[in-house]
Amino acid sequence: MKTQQQTIPVLGFGVYALDPATTRRAVEDALATGFRHVDTAQSYANESDVGAALAAFGLPRDDVFVTTKITPRNFAPGALVPSVEASREALGVDYIDLTLIHYPSPWDEIPMEVYLEQLAEAQARGMTRQVGVSNFTIAQMIRAEEILGAGNVATNQVEIHVYHQNPKVVAHCRARAIPATAYCALARGMVFGIPEARLGPHRTLLDLADKHGATVSQICLAFLIAEGHVTLSTTIDPEQMRDNLAARNVALDASDMAALRGMDRGKRIVEMPYFPDFD
């Protein structure tokens, strides 16, 4: 049986903003390509489509790592555990590998104890094997560990890419031996820039891609992997899926890493009025 310390597969396939039919096709293509980690959320409204793709592809359950995230609409007392059970049923699995709080209760309308204690209950009931958080600040992570217990926060999923490396949150995660999970790993396409204009930060990426015989996406993903992050990417193109997965084979040296770290601009893409300000 897997335990709380089970390693999260370093590359995950995300299904944010994919409609039902596209989700099914894309997840099957991702599994065929070799992805073995699928990341969804209650608010994406495609958990059942992920489940349909998993069932159609037919891999043994333990061969695929499934992550979902709980929307704050289900944080109220007595609501979270049934919502996890509904997610499990929608995904068509006996258990969820990792269940995250999608983001803290907006403006702390619901105390953290209320929803994290329910999350721990869902884990105790075997609905999910690991639990964690997403979009949490350092102070919120500290409180989450106080509630869930040291070593019981599997990850903090936050926006991380070359233009927004979230250094303080990442440093706290490392200090607590909690892997960060990077979403928007390719900055929603911003990393591709304008290839014809080899200028500024895009030139750095293009030059590194030339140096390694790789693509810009592979350089960006390889950087996040080398930094120790679980890394999510999304595409509906099977060729791009193969390209992203091959980032595991790109070995960046110390000078490459220094150049990429130097690209951080604190450029946050996902900004919602109810998201906390990162440290």
Helices 20-33 and 238-245, interaxial angle, to 10°?
A: 40
- Total number of residues shown for the chain: 279
Full DSSP string of 140-196 = HHHHHHHHH-TT----EEEE-BTTB--HHHHHHHHHTT--EEEESTTGGGGGG--TT
| Residue 126 zone, left/alpha/beta (φ > 0; ψ -120 to 50; rest) | left
Instruction: Give the position of tokens 């996902």.
Output: 270
For residue 210, the SS3 value is helix
Q: Is 44 known to be catalytic?
A: yes
Catalytic residue of the set 44, 95, 115, 163: 44
From CA 270, how far away is CA 95, in angstroms rounded? 30
Collect all residues with Cβ–Cβ distance below 8 Å to 37 and sequence separation of at least 6: 8, 9, 11, 12, 13, 64, 65, 66, 67, 230
Q: 234 is written with which tokens?
A: 């999304």
Q: 46 is written with which tokens?
A: 């495609």
Contact indicator for 145, 119 with CB cutoff of 8 Å = no
From CA 255, how far away is CA 3, in angstroms rounded? 37
**Residue 169 burial (CB count, 10 A):** 22
Active site residues: 44
